[in-house]
Structure 1
Amino acid sequence: MKRDSGKMDKRSATGDPPGNPASTAPSAQAAFASYAAPLVADALEFASAVREDASPEALHKLRVSLRRLRSLWWAFAPLLGKDENIHQRALFKYLATAAGKTRDWDILIELLAQEDSGAHGLMPSLQEARGSALAVSRETLSNADVKHLLREALAGASRELNTAHERMPLRKFVTRRVDAAKRSLKKRMKRANRARRSDYTAYHDVRKAGKKLRYLLDFFEPVLKGSCKSTARRVKRIQKRFGALNDVVASEGLLREYAASLGGSGDTEAVLNWLGQERKRRMRAAAALLRKR
């Protein structure tokens, strides 16, 4: 089931029906639930699906939905209690990591499915490791009582915002938060452009900042003045290029971590060499994009 997670019709989002002044627009506090509730519903739907569906797509959708929630809570952080906001964002990250452990194996398997990777002999062991990770992911998510945690997070944040004495116009608020995300991305791109090619952390920070901005544009584009299409296209390019780099870096780390248990099931060292060469190629591609900023 595909939802329009976080996006709102421009008229309803701004609260500016024909003939009415912009002053009728809702406050950011009042609008929060209209963004958060569909995201929580998506996350609950995907968490339920993972119990029955072991496919890479189900886990990917769950992890993305939790990341989107984390970004939304970051967006509303100035209006929420600091400690509680940090706690909720940490919760979303924990749940996303639980789903991500299996997803990381899926990405590695997809990468090594390429003919020239030389990983044919490793595949049975990788699939077995993936199955074990899936069992742990399902158990962790089940024990966490995702439904209760997410509904409590939504209820708590909504209650805090609805009882706040001050109100900020939605458009003014989201413009500030999107601008903050843009500045963060620009800063990290400059830092990565100056960093050594071996400094993957700087590149990883670009990816995270780009992802956050992309989610905020998805949420708030109908409310913002002017078109965000050029910014959205640029962020999508960053996500694609830096996401491809992250896939191979994470896969290389995962394979090294489990190399001992995979020993004898194939030429692990040769596959690691292939991943190393692929990492360098993708690092060059990411660096080239930084130079074009």
Structure 2
Amino acid sequence: MKRDSGKKDNRSTAGEPDAAQASPAPSAQAAFASYAAPLVADAIEFAEAVREDTSPEALHKLRVSLRRLRSLWWAFEPLLKKEENTRQRALFKFLATAAGKTRDWDILIELLAHEDSGAHEIAPTFQEARGDALAVSRETLANADVKHLLREALSGASKELNTAHERVALRKFATRRVDSAKRSLKKRTKRASRAKRSDYTAFHDVRKAGKKLRYLLDFFAPVLKGNCKRTVKRLKQIQKRFGALNDVVASEGLLREHAASLAGSGDTGAVLAWFRQERKRRLRTAAQLLRKR
């Protein structure tokens, strides 16, 4: 490469690309692995930790990492084969559900431990049920061979994207996918704001759409134009309030599902009554947040 002669010349050196050409904007296809590989590594680490660590935190981290993977595969859906993408996302959901079965008991136990719910007599039975669920979660995750499945998913998607003939700029692609997630959240928020309080599904859809958008912003915020802080703040509010509602609804459902096995352990009727009241209260606070949008 020729040294600078000292003369100012705005033209590129003959035969050499200028700075913009030398550092082309990254493509979405090339960037995929940089997003996916760390998530896969985390999920594998957390899955292995669950074999030894029985704490609620270990299961929570595993479930979150799998949800983030599912959102990433959704983000890259337009660039991947539809059937394979759908299969992989279903796989991530299956593994997250396996971890979630134990996590659901953790949430129920935590909810009732700090409230005047009348659950003190049943608490030992809850812990026993949680232990049984953990055994099932561990067996399911071990039989699934999480490490192999996730590495295979990463390898397959990366190969498909790296061998694609077309390329799309990462910023352009990220903007489109974030905009799509925003439209989905707006649509579901509008539907929930008009829904009856008994229509929990409408509120749950807002939570899922908000969580997906939050994950996408976590991935793509550095390459997007503008500042996402205000949107992220709003999404955190949604996740906190709607997550609290979901915890109660899911725990109530879990208790009803196992009501027969809990019979004789304590006053399950009083606990269910507490859940009904708490669900109504949290539905009101969730609805209030929608009105502030």
**What is the CA–CA distance in structure 1 between the aligned matches of 2:281 and 2:150, rounded to whole Å?**
40
- Report what 2:281 is aligned to: 281
Deviations along 1:17-45, one digit per CA (max 9) or x if unpaired, are xx646971110000000000000000000
Match of residue 199 from structure 1: 199
Match of 1:123 in 2: 123
Counterparts of 1:47 and 1:229, CA distance in 2:
32
Q: Which residue of the partner structure matches residue 245 of structure 1?
A: 245
SS of 1:86's equivalent in the other structure is: helix
Amino acid at match of 1:193: S
Q: CA RMSD in A?
A: 1.0
Structure 2 vs 1, CA of residues 22 and 212 (structure 1 numbering), >3 Å: closer, same or farther? farther
Partners of 2:224 and 2:159 in 1: CA distance = 26
Q: CA deviation at 1:115?
A: 3.6
Alignment of 1:111 onto 2:111: yes
Identity of aligned residues (%): 83
Q: CA deviation at 1:75?
A: 0.1
Aligned to 2:65: 65
1:43-75: CA deviation from partner (whole Å, max 9, x where unpaired): 000000000000000000000000000000000
For residues 105 and 115 of structure 2, what CA distance do their matches in structure 1 show?
18
Distance 1:248 1:157, change over 3 A: same
Structure 2 CA distance for aligned equivalents of residues 22 and 133 of structure 1? 55
Q: Which residue of 1 aligns with 2:40?
A: 40
Cα distance in 2 for residues equivalent to 1:21 and 1:264: 74
Q: Read off the aligned partner of 1:97 and give its amino acid letter.
A: T
Q: Name the structure 1 match of 2:290.
A: 290
TM-aligned CA deviation for residue 117 of structure 1: 1.0
Deviations 1:148-188 (A, max 9, x none): 00000000000000000000000000000000000000000
Establish whether residue 142 from structure 1 lines up as the match of residue 142 from structure 2.
Answer: yes
**Which whole-Å deviations, capped at 9, do the CAs of 1:169-209 have from their partners, x for residues lacking one?**
00000000000000000000000011111000000000000
Quick check: 1:80 aligned with 2:73?
no
Question: What amino acid is aligned across from residue 227 of structure 1 in structure 2?
Answer: N
Deviations 1:218-256 (A, max 9, x none): 111111011000000000100101000000000000000
Q: Distance in 2 between matches of 1:263 and 1:21?
A: 72
> For this pair of structures, how many residues does the alignment match?
275
Residues 127-276 of structure 1 correspond to what in structure 2 (within 5 A)? Answer: 127-276=127-276
Structure 1: runs of 5+ lacking an equivalent: 1-18
Separation (CA, whole Å) in 2 of partners of 1:114 and 1:275: 13
Q: Secondary structure at the match of 1:197?
A: coil
Structure 1, residues 252-280: CA drift from partner, whole Å, max 9, x if none?
Answer: 00000001100111100000000110000
Specify the SS of the correspondent of 2:224: coil
Counterpart CA distance in 2 for 1:251 and 1:79 is 38
2:87 and 2:122 map into 1 onto residues whose CA distance is 40
Change in 2 beyond 3 A, CA 1:271/1:220: same
Equivalence map 1:16-31=2 (5 Å): 20=20, 24-31=24-31
Instruction: Name whichever of 217-226 and 91-100 sits farther off.
Output: 217-226
Query: Computing the radius of gyration over CA atoms, which structure comes out larger, 1 or 2?
Result: 2
Alpha-carbon distance in structure 2 between the residues aligned to 1:270 and 1:212: 36
> Using a 3 Å threshold, how does the CA distance of structure 1 residues 221 and 21 change in structure 2: closer, same or farther?
farther
Q: Which amino acid aligns with 2:94?
A: Y
Structure 1 runs (4+) deviating above 2 angstroms are: 19-23
State the partner residue of 1:7: none
Distance in 2 separating the partners of 1:203 and 1:287: 8
Q: Which amino acid aligns with 2:80?
A: L
Residue type of the alignment partner of 1:170: L
Gaps of 5+ in 2: 1-18
